[in-house]
Structure 1
Amino acid sequence: MASSRVLNFGAGPSALPASVLEKAAEGLLNFNGTGIGIAEISHRSKEFTAFVANLEFLIRTQLDVPPTHAILFTQGGGSAQFSATVLNLLARHRLLHPHLSDDERVMDYVVTGSWSEKAAEEAKRMGGSRVNVAVDSRKYSKDGKSFDNIPPHTEYAFSPDPALIYYCENETVDGVEFSHKDADATSFPYHLLDKGALLPLVADYSSSFMCRPIPHLSDHAVIFAGAQKNIGPAGLTILIVRQDCIVDVDAAAQLGATPIPLTMSYKTLFDSKSLYNTPSVLPIYIAGLVLEHLAELGGLKYYEQTNRKKAEKVYEAVRKGEEKAVLQRKVQDGAGSWMNVVFSVLGDGAEQRFIEGAEKEDMKGLKGHRSVGGIRVSLYNAITEADTDKLIGYIEKFVLAESNTTS
């Protein structure tokens, strides 16, 4: 079944392990011995509710999620959470500070790429409080307009008591990611935040969830991630929400907060064990199979080591291509993503030759996002080190051919 598959380096929906897909295909006909396919079975059945509970367990144990945080499952992807986090955390802030006016409520946004820019725009569109851009990385880019870096810690300007502080850990479009080492200049500046309070810190982990441990996880109020990068197909969104952020949104509305649709309320999801309405049954099933597969391989420790190796190999191949004036990195040193390596191919028609040549060798999904162009290599968990080595062999061959042509 898997022999005719190509290598999918696309940014999402992305590659999934072939063994998982084969098992999922069996489940489409017969889920866990029920005689009913997973796409047909009731989400209230004991078999499916047990599967959801196990999915939560797998995430909690592998990410070491503390009991202070709930794990919830919803729909709408990261984009829906651009709105939901605003509504839920503004409701929390209203309950904590009922006498503040809307102008006195502030939401902080760290803008380091296309997705965090969209999140900030959505917060502004929704209104109800002020949006403070704590830092915008374009100011520190090589051309003054690109997202190609993580700004210096000294440049962040956080508000004294914001309703939320948002950042995107990995920018899928721009290939920019925060370092996970606190000592690095490109890490997220946790040390600048008020450690004497329950931080309203919101992190978008959509394109890097379950690829390695999450630093300072317990300091976060909300972590959200679409499943369609590392752990499943599109249609499932995973939330890790601190208990104090699961608030009575109706009580907040009575105090003047914006009413929240029930399906976007974290309290609704929590009280119903993520089953208020029919969830994305098939994506939940496949995500569970992926996480079981991940555990069998050694969990996040295994993937952290493997993903580091894959990224280092690709960045080294791009560096060598730069020496030959064939390739050019788009991201400044220290800010490159492990999951999405972006670069340009220099010369007239060279980018198209690169893509066509890769496709002839059964490697697809390498074209950069339409908004920025170039090449994007997505190295999600299902891409093995052997897959990466095949791509690197192609890059090296391409660079050699191009350099010989231009010399």
Structure 2
Amino acid sequence: MPERVDIVNFGAGPSALPTSILEEAAKGLLNYRNTGIGLTELSHRSKEFGTLTKHLESLIREQLEVPSNYHIAFTQGGGSGQFSAVVLNLLARHRLLNPNVTDEERVMDYVVTGSWSKKASEEAKRLGGGKVNVVVDGRTYSKTGKAFDNIPPHDKWAFSPKPAFVYYCENETVDGVQFSHEEGSAQAFPFHLTDPSVPIVADYSSSFMSRPIPRLKDHALIYAGAQKNIGPSGLTILIIRDDLLVDTDAAAKLGAAPVPITLVYKTLADSGSLYNTPPMFPMYVSELVLERMKNSGGLQRLEEANRRKATLLYDTLDEAEKKGLVKVKVQPGSKSWMNATFELVGEGAEQKFLEGAEAKGFKQLKGHR
């Protein structure tokens, strides 16, 4: 049986975690910081867990340079839960600001660049309360006309005049497509084309804390599932600008859909993420990971390390493609630092590759289908 040191885990999420972090977390399961009680046995309203929650928030706020007019909240439900929560909270806000606008006139703008933003737009359509405008669909500009393999040219984007919000996914895990974080890049998110008064919502689940977030202050809401980079599954992190913390019950009286209390952003913020029992163990592991990150040089150092890894990997894949061994799926400029997608050329080549990788201790390389 292989030992942990013999394995290289390529899982896209739940992702690999440092062995030292898991060993420390295991101690906390038995005796959390000399309380004599395991973390998962502590009350979420205890002084000790309150301290953990505040420290986790401060680690995120400091390393991402989150301004004081944003709340950082911790909840459950993952990205899929936020597909619903975003619609319900942002439409409630829009209803309060525009009580005379009809549902037929109310618009939600979705930028569709991969499987996850597509699912988010489909959930918005399912919930209703407004129309969904697909600002741009990456498949239209793909090599095949069917795949998500690019960030489309900015001149092809069609924003609505006054949408309730604009939504995009910064990194598409399944498709390997990511927005550039270089200012002025043709593959960067075009903030210059948006109305500053319209809230911008970003799903950062699969790239959160891998590099700084460009123009964070231009976002109204950023959310991320922890399991891609910083902890176990079960924790969702929200960075919410204060103007999104609205009275959803008041909006419901004006005709908006009622919002389940645990999905209300104002409830999460007002309670300090402790309205109900939060995902305590994932929060603990995330705290350990982010403390380690801070002590190792922070996001800037991690960004440079990730840049070097991505460059090395894609240079290798490009050489292999020239030799006819692989087919890189994503167009230049749109390739993800987090999830490289490629196909092996030749009958049986992929299976042979996976079997060879498995024999060398490379686990979870097989991609989505």
Please report the TM-score for the alignment, with normalisation by the length of structure 1: 0.89
Q: Are 1:145 and 2:153 an aligned pair? A: no
Q: How many angstroms does 1:161 deviate by?
A: 1.1
Q: Quick one: which amino acid aligns to residue 141 of structure 1?
A: S
What letter corresponds to residue 104 of structure 1 in structure 2?
Answer: E
CA positional deviation for 1:250: 0.5
* Aligned position for 1:405: none
- Where does 1:130-141 land on structure 2 (aligned, <5 Å)? 130-141=131-142
Residue 213 of structure 1 aligns with an amino acid whose one-letter code is: P
Which residue matches 2:232? 233
Q: Distance in 1 between matches of 2:40 and 2:345?
A: 47
Deviation (angstroms), 1:3? 4.5
How far apart, in 2, do the equivalents of 1:96 and 1:18 lie? Answer: 49
Q: CA deviation at 1:164?
A: 1.2
Q: Partner of 2:28: helix, strand, or coil?
A: helix
The residue identity in structure 2 corresponding to 1:19 is S
Decide whether the 8 Å contact of 1:223 with 1:241 is kept in 2.
yes
On the 8 A contact 1:182/1:188 being kept in 2, the answer is no
Whether 2:39 is the aligned partner of 1:47: answer no
Aligned partner letter, 1:291: L
Is contact 1:175-1:337 (8 Å) kept?
yes
For residues 33 and 60 of structure 1, what CA distance do their matches in structure 2 show? 27
Shift of 1:182: 2.3
Q: Note if contact 1:175-1:341 (Cα within 8 Å) is conserved in structure 2.
A: yes
Tell me how far apart the structure 1 counterparts of residues 119 and 159 of structure 2 sit (CA, whole Å).
Answer: 19
Aligned ranges 1:220-299 → 2 under 5 Å: 220-299=219-298
Equivalent residue, structure 2, for 1:157: 158
The alignment's C-alpha RMSD in Å is 1.0
Residues 137 and 147 in structure 1, CA contact (< 8 A), matched pair in contact too: yes
AA at the equivalent of 1:333: P
Structure 1's consecutive aligned runs of 4 or more residues displaced over 6 angstroms after TM superposition are none
Partner deviation per Cα, 1:336-381 (whole Å, 9 max, x = no partner): 00000110100010000111101101011111102xxxxxxxxxxx
Q: State the AA in 2 paired with 1:307.
A: N
CA drift of 1:4 comes to: 4.4
CA distance in 1, matches of 2:63, 2:183: 21
Offset, 1:32: 1.2
Return the offset for 1:5.
Answer: 5.0
1:330-349 correspondence to structure 2 within 5 Å: 330-349=329-348
Asked whether the 8 Å contact 1:2–1:18 carries over to 2, the reply is no
Within-5 A mapping of 1:293-308: 293-308=292-307
Which residue number corresponds to residue 90 of structure 1? 91
Q: TM-score, normalised by structure 2?
A: 0.98
Report the Cα distance in structure 2 between the residues aligned to 1:2 and 1:266, rounded to whole angstroms: 43
CA deviations over 1:294-313 (Å, ceiling 9, x no partner): 11111101110000111111
- For residues 364 and 276 of structure 1, the distance between their equivalents in structure 2, rounded to whole angstroms, comes to 39
Gaps spanning 5+ residues in structure 2: where? none
Give aligned-pair identity as a percent.
Answer: 63
Q: Deviations over 1:187-220 (max 9, x none)?
A: 111110123x2x3100000000000000010111
| Map of 1:173 onto structure 2 | 174
CA distance 1:271–1:5, shift in 2 (3 Å): farther
Q: Deviation at 1:186?
A: 0.7
Query: For structure 1, which runs of at least 5 residues remain unmatched after alignment?
Result: 371-407
Following superposition, the deviation at residue 68 of structure 1 comes to 1.2
What is the alpha-carbon distance in structure 1 between the residues aligned to residue 267 and residue 97 of structure 2? 20
Aligned equivalents of 1:2, 1:203: Cα separation in 2 = 38
